[in-house]
Amino acid sequence: MSSRLFIMVLAVALASVAAVVFVGMEQDRGGAHSALFPDLNMEAVNSVAAIEVRAGGGQVSLARNDDNLWQVVDKDNHPADTARIRSLLLALSEAQKVERKTAQPAQYAQLGVADTDAESGAGVLVQWSNAQRQWGLILGNPSRQLSEGQFARIEGEAASWLINRRLSPDADPQSWLDKRIVHIEPAELHRIAVEHKDGKPLEVVRDKRGEPLKMAVMPEGGELKDPGILNRLAATVDYLDFREVYPRKDDFALPDTAIRAVFTTFDGLEIVVQAYRVGESLYAVIGAQHNEEVMEQSGAAQDKRAEVRDRAASLAAHLSRWYYRLQDSLYEPLEATPESLIKQ
């Protein structure tokens, strides 16, 4: 090759490289290091009223009800985990474009940002909306070059991006449920009464705050086999969560073998747990009520008593719609009887 021809080829090659670099610079200036959703400010985040997640044939819909509370639509509008929803929306609002990637549909699968119905490389589609507009994002594979990065593509746009957030919203409705049923501090329990179909009822009391729990009736010289059993019984309503939740239909009926346990606080709030086993699994119906006699004994002011009545009514209204599968480990303290607790 002559020196003249070599110089010409080199010049063409350099020009091509310069053009690619120039386009890359234009792309960077046009979007990289900017907000993924510039209009998703805090006001917009707070006004989001619906979210949908789709992936791998699964789908979950989340929506605010008339009281502005988040619910899982696919789970009979059971209350949703608002902290998880908030975390997702904040991450979306804070996400920034780091580097522009392919805009060729044939290459989407390599980044995992293909449409959710694609045969391969399908991403997770997240859509959310308020009264004014809807947003959508297809989340793809995590990035190897950026530890907290992920590939993503704004729904309806060709270009894909490396973003500075790694998001993994689940399309399983179960994962979005608020699994907390009730939380009563064990130290606030004044009395626990447990009734069984077979066996004597068990009553556990704490006369004053700060005192230990004890059996209401203990034979002279009697001693508990396991001193910790009463505390484990009280812990039943301490951060009581469910494993599964089901709507309580009109034809729902408790089996005859159900154990009924009433947990009464010093303020007069009562949580009623009616538990039963199906195979090795523990199920329960939970209720709430107030005890006027205990409220009177507490000497609380009328406004405090009104708060207890309101809380009991609110809990009862919610809990009456559901029955639950609980942690199997809760059954042991619930099935205790006086005969089983006292050393013979």
The torsion angle over the Cα atoms of residues 323, 324, 329 and 334, rounded to 10 degrees, is -10
Query: Do 172 and 247 belong together in one domain?
Result: no
Query: Do 206 and 306 belong together in one domain?
Result: yes
Query: Do 129 and 172 belong together in one domain?
Result: yes
Query: Do 332 and 186 belong together in one domain?
Result: yes
3-state secondary structure of 218: coil
Query: Do 191 and 290 belong together in one domain?
Result: yes
Give the pLDDT confidence score for residue 196 in this predicted structure.
Answer: 87
Give the pLDDT confidence score for residue 17 in this predicted structure.
Answer: 39
Q: What are the residue ranges in the chain where pLDDT is below 70?
A: 1-31
d(CA 207, CA 188): 11
Going by C-alpha positions, the residue among 152, 164, 154, 196 that lies closest to residue 336 is 196
CA end-to-end span of the chain, whole Å? Answer: 106
Query: Do 195 and 269 belong together in one domain?
Result: yes
For 119, phi and psi rounded to 5 degrees?
-70, -30
Give the pLDDT confidence score for residue 31 in this predicted structure.
Answer: 67
Query: Do 152 and 233 belong together in one domain?
Result: no
pTM value is: 0.84
- Among the candidates 176, 197, 223, a domain finishes at 176
Query: Do 240 and 287 belong together in one domain?
Result: yes
Going by C-alpha positions, the residue among 308, 323, 154, 152 that lies closest to residue 247 is 323
Give the pLDDT confidence score for residue 14 in this predicted structure.
Answer: 45
Give the pLDDT confidence score for residue 21 in this predicted structure.
Answer: 36
Contact 259, 194 (CB under 8 A): yes
| Distances, alpha carbon 171 to alpha carbons 32, 37, 152, 243, in Å | 29, 22, 17, 18
Query: Do 147 and 220 belong together in one domain?
Result: no
Give the pLDDT confidence score for residue 19 in this predicted structure.
Answer: 34
d(CA 257, CA 233): 19
Query: Do 167 and 215 belong together in one domain?
Result: no
Contact 333, 202 (CB under 8 A): no
d(CA 232, CA 329): 10
Give the pLDDT confidence score for residue 27 in this predicted structure.
Answer: 41
What are the tokens at 64?
A: 């605010």
Query: Do 220 and 319 belong together in one domain?
Result: yes
Give the pLDDT confidence score for residue 344 in this predicted structure.
Answer: 74
Does 210 reside within a domain? yes
Q: What share of the chain has pLDDT > 90, as a percent? A: 75
| Structural domains of the chain, count | 2
d(CA 73, CA 64): 9
- Among the candidates 149, 176, 203, a domain finishes at 176
| Cα 184–Cα 187–Cα 192 angle in degrees, nearest 5 | 70
Range of the domain at 244: 180-341
d(CA 260, CA 335): 10
Give the pLDDT confidence score for residue 122 in this predicted structure.
Answer: 94
Give the pLDDT confidence score for residue 339 in this predicted structure.
Answer: 86
For 222, phi and psi rounded to 5 degrees?
-70, 155
